[in-house]
Amino acid sequence: MTASAHRHELYTVEQVRALDRHAIDTLGIPAYELMQRAAAAALVCLRQHWPHARRIAVYCGPGNNGGDGFLLAMLAREAGLQAEVVALGESRGDDAARARREFEQASGVVQRWHEALPLPEADVQVDALFGTGLQRALSPEVAVLAQRMHAAKTPLLALDVPSGVNADTGAVPGEAIRADVTIAFIAAKRGLYTGFAPGYVGQLHWDSLGLPETLWQGFQPDAELMQSATLPPRPRQAHKGDNGHVLAIGGEHGTAGAIRLCGEAALRAGAGLVSIATRGEHLPALNAARPELMAHEVHGPQALEELQQRATVLAIGPGLGQGAWGHALWTTALDAGKPMVLDADGLNLLAREPRPFTNGTVLTPHPGEAARLLGCDTAAIAMDRFAAVRELARRYGAVAVLKGAGSLVADPTGRVAVCPWGNPGMASGGMGDLLTGIVAALLAQGCAPWEAACLGVGLHARAGDLAARQHGERGLIASDLLEPLRLLLNGRES
Q: From 223, 247, 195, select the one nearest 384 (Cα to Cα).
A: 195
d(CA 456, CA 441): 9
Q: What is the pLDDT of residue 475?
A: 96
As a whole number of Å, the CA-based R_g of the chain is: 26
d(CA 166, CA 232): 38
Q: What is the pLDDT along the chain (494 residues), one digit of tens a residue?
A: 455 667 789 999 999 999 999 999 999 999 999 999 999 999 999 999 999 999 999 999 999 999 999 999 999 999 999 999 999 999 999 999 999 999 999 999 999 999 999 999 999 999 999 988 777 889 999 999 999 999 999 999 999 999 999 999 999 999 999 999 999 999 999 999 999 999 999 999 999 999 998 898 889 999 999 998 888 777 787 777 778 999 999 999 999 999 999 999 999 999 999 999 999 999 999 999 999 999 999 999 999 999 999 999 999 999 999 999 999 999 999 999 999 999 999 999 999 999 999 889 999 999 999 999 999 999 999 999 999 999 999 999 999 999 999 999 999 999 999 999 999 999 999 999 999 999 999 999 999 999 999 999 999 999 999 999 998 999 999 999 999 999 999 987 75
Helix axes 31-49, 94-105, angle to 10 degrees: 60
Q: Are 487 and 493 in contact (CB under 8 A)?
A: yes
d(CA 238, CA 266): 18
Q: From 428, 426, 412, 411, select the one nearest 462 (Cα to Cα).
A: 426
Q: Are 390 and 414 in contact (CB under 8 A)?
A: yes
d(CA 331, CA 323): 12
What's the number of CA atoms in the CB half-sphere (13 Å) around residue 405?
A: 18
How far, in Å, are 7, 41, 183, 190, 290 from residue 4 at the CA level? 6, 15, 15, 16, 46
